[in-house]
Structure formats: structure tokens, C-alpha cells
Amino acid sequence: MKRSDISTLIVLEAAELAHTERLMMTWEYIEAKTGAPEKVIYSAMEREDNRGYLWCGVSLRTSGLTDNGMAKLRDLRRN
């Protein structure tokens, strides 16, 4: 599996779930959905962080959505 196999939608939905359900961290939701290795998951999360869709305090593994990320998630769900 490679980074491009993990879509923006998957990453943003995982970040949303991590901060609403609070059962797992963002990367764990992605792992559960895709089965991707941790290294690939972090690469996909970094991609979305670089686009300004994620915020992270201490660690990317616990990242959430920025305002731009929430807007992008709504847009992706509409399409």
C-alpha cells in the first residue's frame, strides 16, 4: 500500500471521528479502515497537514480538523 491509496476523505473523516467519538486516535481510525502500515498512514496525514486541513498540538497522531479541513470534508462528502 502507498500513500496515494489513502484519500483525503479517509484522513479527514478519521480526524473528525477521533474528536467526536474519542475511541481511537486519528491514525488508528485510518489503520482500521485501510489496513495500511503506520509509516504510510503518517505520510498521508502529513500530506493533509501540509495542505492546511489538519492541526496538531503535540503530535500528528492526535490531529484534528482545521476550519479549512472541515470545509474540505463537507465538500468531499457532497461530491
> Which residues of the chain, if any, have pLDDT below 70?
none
Yes or no: say if 6 and 40 are a contact pair by the CB < 8 Å rule. Answer: yes
Give pTM, 2 decimals.
0.94
At residue 61, the pLDDT reads 85
| Domains of the chain: residue spans and CATH | 3-78 (1.10.10.10)
Residues 50-68 have pLDDT tens digits of 999 999 888 888 899 999 9
Spell out the residues 6+ positions from residue 6 whose beta carbon is closer than 8 angstroms to its own.
30, 34, 36, 40, 41, 44
At residue 6, the pLDDT reads 98
At residue 15, the pLDDT reads 97
Angle at 46 between CA 40 and CA 48, to 5 degrees: 110
Yes or no: say if 65 and 53 are a contact pair by the CB < 8 Å rule. Answer: yes
Minimal CA–CA distance to 48: which of 16, 79, 22, 24?
A: 16
